[in-house]
Amino acid sequence: MQTLALPAEASAAVTSGAVQVPAPLVAVRDLAVGYGGAPVLAGVTLDLYAGEMVALLGASGSGKSSLMKSLTGFAPITGGNAKVVGHDVATLGRGGMRRLRSEVGQVFQQFNLIPRLSVLTNVLTGALHDAGPINLVGGFSSTQRRRAMELLDRVGIPHKAKEPARSLSGGQQQRVAIARALMQQPRLILADEPVASLDPRLADSVLALLRSIATEGGIPVLVSLHVLPLALAHSDRIVGLRHGEVLVSAPTDHLEASALSVLYDEEESHDDDRS
């Protein structure tokens, strides 16, 4: 099936009559991913630019999670290449991979907070990659604590800073997870089904927050979703996978839900992507 490829969103600047397109912060070309010889992704091409939120759609087994994992070296690249915030993922050694992962904030369906620790401390753990030996033993600096409080204010829950994470609602816990990711000062955010466990109202608010972070901070956000109305409401572009291949890649305002039906077989459920 042919890829539906529509013109990229009008983010280019025009100078002296020439169109200058900004360089993508993520450039994936003909990417293939496989486990034990079994292909999961084939020929995937994707660009992510500063300031945009891109929704990744597809049924269970389409390869969404594998694509996201491949961008930080957690899924084996078997062909093509992926350049992520200046790093060629397939060629990185151990040290280079650590640097890459420190520059990519990740938000998951399961919030992965430490329940007994305070909300503030959970956010501060996002700075551990930048902590020296003294901080690892003796705590975080006053500068880090101020930044963590600023981030809690950014996600709308500064009044929860001293409470244990386990006392928060699901939507509040996901906001803590987003603040923790921002604590890394990331150049890219990957959000893998971040609202799958939230009710529609909370899902809307979390996705609106992620999009505002992308727009205001110039940080590209790649978010995998199952619910089409959420993708249409909260993304700048949509990339759709089916059986490991890109079938849809277009600005959201060029798409309607009917155009995305090609991503789903009738018998396929919309369960969480396990690939």
The answer to the question of residue 153 being in a domain is no
The answer to the question of residue 110 being in a domain is no
pLDDT tens by residue, 45-88: 999 999 999 999 999 889 999 999 999 999 999 999 999 999 99
The answer to the question of residue 146 being in a domain is no
Q: How confident is the model at residue 266 (pLDDT cuts 50, 70, 90)?
A: low
The answer to the question of residue 142 being in a domain is no
The answer to the question of residue 161 being in a domain is no
* CATH code of the domain containing 89: 3.40.50.300
The answer to the question of residue 269 being in a domain is no
The answer to the question of residue 145 being in a domain is no
pLDDT tens by residue, 81-134: 999 999 999 999 999 999 999 999 999 989 999 999 999 999 999 988 765 544
Domain region containing 82: 4-103+186-263
What's residue 273's pLDDT? 44
DSSP string, 95-152: HHHHHHHHTEEEEESS----TTSBHHHHHHGGGGGG--HHHHHH---HHHHHHHHHHH
Is residue 48 within 8 Å of residue 222, measured between CB atoms? yes
User: What domain count does the chain have?
Assistant: 1
The answer to the question of residue 156 being in a domain is no
What's residue 44's pLDDT? 97
Tokens found for residue 111: 């919030």
